[in-house]
């Protein structure tokens, strides 16, 4: 971390490639010949001339393109180290010796790449100087193509090379440059996510960790948490290939000098996260490409099998609690994919859609994908299987509805969607379901439209019953206790959801709240307004006919009336459902508020994003009034503010 090298150009793109292939096929020699860097770091590796752990090197492909290499061990004994090195890579460099062709570890590595979602590879056919027989070369190349094709991996190119004779190296560099240049930049949204693959201490700096950024951005000065459930810290300094950088993005190798709380020790397998992600010990997953037994039949029972699960750079121990065929498959014989519940001995950090590899033994390897990163206790087995089959098939809309309807009270927290579909896709799904009028967001809760309407009806009945109880005791009251109504409505309803329900009902003038008391808008004997108040309300109505939305102070000036009297008159009009008072400062007619709501829906339907400028221009009003209205819609949970605009949570016919 003491490099004085100049920073990279700001538009430099970084990529990460992992080697793969059988032991002694020349992976390390090839990387050294390409980069001039010996990736073998350990004394034992140099003495034995065999890679046992991850090695690292880099190559400048152009002025604005740098590729980092993760050199993985080929020997089966060190497979767990290989698995720690292939997460977060852009593509693979498959190394196959021309004299031997694909060998057992070649096939195993290719299978692992496929299981982890790596679907592009460049093949380096090494030791080409040792084979003069064209027919042998052709057979080897055919075997490689068939191997990659069988695992769904696209072979971008096959380049014959010799590391000792310096044959084909320039062509290989050119091929890598072309292959990487066509890749679209990775999404940098969300918090940083960096699996740690190496930790060491540097004199004068302290703890340094290295890894490949998988998601988000990591910048100097950032606060972070270390999972699973380890500690927190701050980024002191970042370097990529010996050059200082201000931030690191997905696909970029980075060395990170960190300051850790309580000086907790870090190891390979830990994860640096920009935002804390709760660890899990119980995951619902899909299992793919499971092992076969004699007679080419898939193993039918995996229950209670001890496993080693590899995710990111972590190795986790646990067992498969149960495995079932998806609904589209036979119950009598599990096909190549099944739904399973995995219990881990120690917590892990994983997101839904993350891929992993499972080892039952040194030779028995298969893979999977996280469907639900934390199984709720309330999700019954039958509903769990239904949800899992829908999510596994990619029907996240139906899976979300199943999940919500299976919950107690048929209400879940909005952030629970992230358990099976991380942001931003989870937010997009919610917005889409809201636009389709299938769900509503109430505070921080998510529910079906039917559940929301039922809650409104039940609230009305609970308030009526509370009034009846007061009358039965001989008391005539105009309001009832907030807590009494909650108990009558549903004692099990979370208080936060209940408070949001009350706010929602009040916002749309269905009920009235004063402190901890609730009343119907029409409750109690109607009060007869004096002639002056009636005239003032008529004057306010005329002013609002000429103005879409107006401040109370401006209304007072237009009516030539006392501000306090205008406030009281506006409140009376609000109780009558004629106007809505926003933030105790702005007044808008209920018809105009509905017009604004419809405009939100129109903008969302066209652009799938509500920008303040579009809203202001659509209303033909000033920024002050547009922002006040947007804040009102945010508070009413009709819209939700994001970094680059807003999403619509409820359509105009659902208020």
Residue 525 lies in a domain: no
Domain end point (choices 372, 402, 418) = 372
- Say what the pLDDT of residue 102 is: 95
Determine contact, residues 585/551, Cβ cutoff 8 Å.
yes
Any domain includes 640: yes
Across the range 457-483, mean pLDDT stands at 85
Q: Is the pLDDT of residue 6 over 80?
A: no
- 120-148 average pLDDT score: 93
Same structural domain, 158 and 18:
yes
Rounded Cα distance between 226 and 264, Å, is: 10
Is residue 631 located within the same domain as residue 586?
A: yes
pLDDT at 9: 76
Task: pLDDT band for 334, please (50, 70, 90 cuts).
Answer: very low
Provide DSSP, 428-468: HHHHHHHHTTSEEEETTEEEEHHHHHHHHHHHHHHHHHHHH
Same domain, 540 and 625: yes
Residue 2 lies in a domain: no
Q: Are residues 96 and 62 in the same domain?
A: yes
Distance CA 240, CA 231 (A): 24
Residue 595 pLDDT greater than 80, yes or no: yes
Q: Cα-flanking dihedrals φ and ψ of residue 136, to 5°?
A: -60, -45
Number of domains present in the structure of the chain = 6
The predicted structure's pLDDT at residue 333: 38
Mean pLDDT, to the nearest integer, of 24-48? 78
Q: Over the stretch 302-331, which tens digit does the pLDDT of each residue have?
A: 667 788 999 999 999 999 888 776 654 444
* 469: pLDDT strictly greater than 50: yes
Q: How confident is the model at residue 131 (pLDDT cuts 50, 70, 90)?
A: confident
Is residue 64's pLDDT more than 90?
A: no
Please report, for the domain that includes residue 604, its CATH number: 1.10.10.10
CA distance 639 to 646: 6
Identify whether residues 505 and 617 lie together within a single domain: no
Mean pLDDT value across residues 611-621: 92
Whether residue 559 sits in one domain with residue 630: yes
Give the pLDDT of residue 51.
63
Q: pLDDT value at position 146? A: 95
Instruction: Determine the 3-state secondary structure of 245 from DSSP.
Output: strand
First to last CA, the chain: 58
Asked if the model's pLDDT at residue 475 lies above 80, the reply is no
Per-residue pLDDT at 290 exceeds 60:
no
What span, in angstroms and rounded, lies between the C-alpha atoms of 289 and 369? 12
| Predicted local distance difference test score (pLDDT) of residue 47 | 52
> 50 with 81, same domain?
yes
Q: How confident is the model at residue 653 (pLDDT cuts 50, 70, 90)?
A: low
Which residues form the domain of 386?
381-444
Paired sense of beta strands 13-20 and 55-62, if any: unpaired
Phi then psi for 477, rounded to 5 degrees?
-130, 155
User: Does the predicted TM-score (pTM) go above 0.75?
Assistant: no
The chain-wide mean pLDDT, for the chain, equals 86
Q: What is the dihedral of CA 298, 300, 301, 305, to 10 degrees?
A: 0
Residue 654 lies in a domain: no
Please check the confidence at residue 139 and state whether its pLDDT lies above 90.
yes
Q: What is the pLDDT of residue 293?
A: 42
CATH of residue 476 = 1.10.10
213: CATH: 2.40.30.10
pLDDT at 294: 38
Residues 64 and 148 reside in one and the same domain: yes
Question: Tokens 């306010």, residue?
Answer: 540
pLDDT (tens digit per residue) in 415-452: 899 999 987 788 889 988 888 889 888 888 999 989 98
Q: What is the mean pLDDT of residues 220-232?
A: 90
Residue 267 pLDDT more than 50?
A: yes
In a domain, 187, yes or no: no
Q: 289 and 251, same structural domain?
A: no
CA torsion sign for 233, 236, 241, 244 is positive
Which range among 5-9, 109-113, 422-426 has the greatest average pLDDT? 109-113
Which of 273, 292, 314 corresponds to the end of one domain? 273
Which two three-digit tokens encode residue 344? 């881990």
Rounded to whole angstroms, how far apart are CA atoms 156 and 175? Answer: 8
Q: What pLDDT shows up at residue 52?
A: 59
- Residues 392, 486, single domain; the answer is no
Which residue has better confidence, 566 or 45? 566
Looking at the domain assignment, is residue 5 inside a domain? no
Q: What is the pLDDT of residue 35?
A: 92
Element (H, E) at 80: helix 79-85
- What does the alpha-carbon distance between residue 598 and residue 541 come to, in Å, rounded to a whole number? 22
pLDDT of residue 80: 72
Instruction: Please choose, from the candidates 72, 98, 92, the residue with its C-alpha nearest in 3D space to the C-alpha of residue 84.
Output: 72
Same domain, 399 and 459: no
Tell me what pLDDT residue 516 has.
85
- Are 103 and 174 members of one domain? yes
Given a contact cutoff of 8 angstroms between Cβ atoms, the answer to whether 238 and 254 are in contact is yes
Residue 296 has pLDDT above 80, yes or no: no
Tell whether the model's pLDDT for residue 40 goes beyond 60. yes
pLDDT given at position 532: 83
Domain boundary among 149, 181, 213: 181
Does some domain include residue 284?
yes
- pLDDT given at position 476: 66
Res 276 pLDDT > 90: no
pLDDT score for 204:
84
Tokens of 28: 């390390």
pLDDT level of residue 619 (50, 70, 90 thresholds)? very high
Q: What is the pLDDT of residues 493-540, one digit of tens each?
A: 888 889 889 888 887 778 888 888 898 875 443 444 568 888 999 999
pLDDT for res 76:
55
How high is the pLDDT of residue 41? 64
What CATH number has the domain bearing residue 123? 3.40.50.300
Kind of pairing, strands 243-245 and 231-240?
Answer: antiparallel
Tens digit of each residue's pLDDT (9 = 90 or more) over 147-180: 999 999 999 999 999 998 999 999 999 999 999 9
Q: Given a cut of 80, is residue 477 above it in pLDDT? A: no
Q: List pLDDT tens digits, range 341-400.
A: 999 999 999 989 999 998 887 677 888 999 999 999 899 989 999 999 899 888 999 999
Asked if residue 330 belongs to a domain, the reply is: yes
């Amino acid at each position: 971390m003491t490099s004085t090298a100049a920073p990279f150009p700001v538009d430099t793109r970084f990529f990460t490639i992992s080697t793969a292939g059988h032991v002694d096929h020349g992976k390390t020699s090839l990387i050294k010949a390409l980069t001039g860097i010996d990736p073998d770091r350990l004394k034992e590796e140099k003495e034995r001339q065999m890679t046992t752990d991850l090695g690292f090197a880099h190559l400048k492909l152009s002025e604005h393109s740098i590729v980092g290499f993760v050199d993985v061990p080929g020997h089966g004994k060190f497979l767990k180290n290989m698995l720690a090195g292939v997460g977060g890579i852009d593509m693979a460099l498959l190394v196959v010796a021309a004299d031997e062709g694909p060998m057992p570890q070649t096939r195993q590595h290719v299978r692992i790449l496929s299981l982890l979602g790596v679907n592009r590879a460049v093949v380096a056919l090494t030791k080409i100087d040792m084979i003069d027989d064209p027919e042998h070369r052709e057979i080897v190349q055919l075997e490689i193509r068939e191997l990659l094709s069988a695992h769904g991996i696209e072979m971008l190119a096959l380049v014959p090379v010799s590391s000792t004779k310096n044959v084909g190296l320039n062509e290989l560099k050119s091929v890598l440059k072309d292959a990487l240049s066509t890749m679209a930049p990775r999404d940098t949204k969300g918090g940083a996510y960096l699996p740690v693959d190496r930790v060491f201490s540097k004199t004068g700096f302290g703890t340094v960790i290295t890894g490949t950024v998988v998601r988000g951005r990591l910048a100097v000065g950032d606060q972070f948490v270390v999972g699973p459930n380890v500690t927190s810290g701050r980024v002191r300094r970042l370097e990529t290939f010996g050059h200082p950088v201000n931030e690191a993005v997905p696909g970029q190798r980075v060395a990170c000098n960190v300051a850790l709380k309580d000086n907790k020790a870090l190891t390979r397998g830990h994860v640096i996260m920009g935002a804390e992600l709760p660890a899990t010990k119980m995951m619902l997953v899909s299992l793919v490409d499971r092992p076969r037994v004699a007679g080419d039949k898939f193993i039918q029972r995996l229950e209670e099998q001890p496993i080693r699960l590899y995710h990111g750079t972590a190795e986790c121990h646990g067992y498969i609690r149960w495995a079932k065929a998806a609904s589209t498959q036979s119950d009598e014989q599990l096909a190549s994919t099944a739904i399973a519940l995995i219990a881990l001995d120690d917590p892990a950090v994983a997101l839904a859609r993350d891929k992993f590899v499972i080892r039952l033994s040194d030779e028995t390897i298969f893979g999977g994908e996280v469907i639900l990163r934390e199984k709720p206790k309330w999700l019954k087995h039958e509903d769990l299987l239904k949800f899992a089959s829908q999510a596994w098939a990619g029907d996240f809309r139906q899976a979300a509805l199943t999940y919500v309807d299976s919950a107690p009270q048929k209400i879940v927290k909005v952030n629970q969607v992230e358990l099976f579909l991380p942001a931003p896709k989870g937010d997009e799904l919610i917005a889409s379901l809201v636009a389709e009028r299938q769900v509503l967001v109430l505070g921080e809760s998510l529910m079906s439209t039917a559940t929301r309407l039922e809650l409104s009806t039940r609230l009305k009945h609970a308030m009526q019953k509370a009034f009846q109880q007061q009358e039965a005791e001989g008391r005539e009251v105009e309001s009832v206790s907030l807590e009494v109504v909650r108990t009558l409505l549903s004692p099990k309803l979370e208080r936060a959801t209940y408070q949001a329900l009350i706010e929602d009902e009040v916002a749309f003038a269905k009920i009235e709240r004063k402190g901890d008391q609730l009343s119907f808008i029409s409750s109690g004997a109607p009060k007869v307004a004096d002639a002056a108040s009636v005239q003032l309300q008529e004057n306010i109505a005329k002013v609002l006919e000429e103005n879409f939305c107006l401040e109370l102070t401006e209304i007072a000036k237009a009516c030539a009336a006392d501000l306090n009297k205008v406030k009281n008159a506006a409140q009376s009009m609000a109780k009558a459902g004629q106007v809505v008072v926003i933030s105790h400062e702005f007044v808008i007619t209920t018809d105009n508020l509905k017009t604004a709501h419809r405009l939100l829906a129109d903008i969302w339907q066209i652009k799938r994003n509500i920008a303040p400028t579009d809203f202001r221009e659509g209303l033909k009003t000033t920024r002050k009034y547009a922002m006040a209205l947007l804040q009102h819609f945010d508070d009413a949970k009709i819209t939700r503010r994001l970094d680059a605009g807003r999403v619509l949570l409820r359509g105009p016919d659902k208020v």
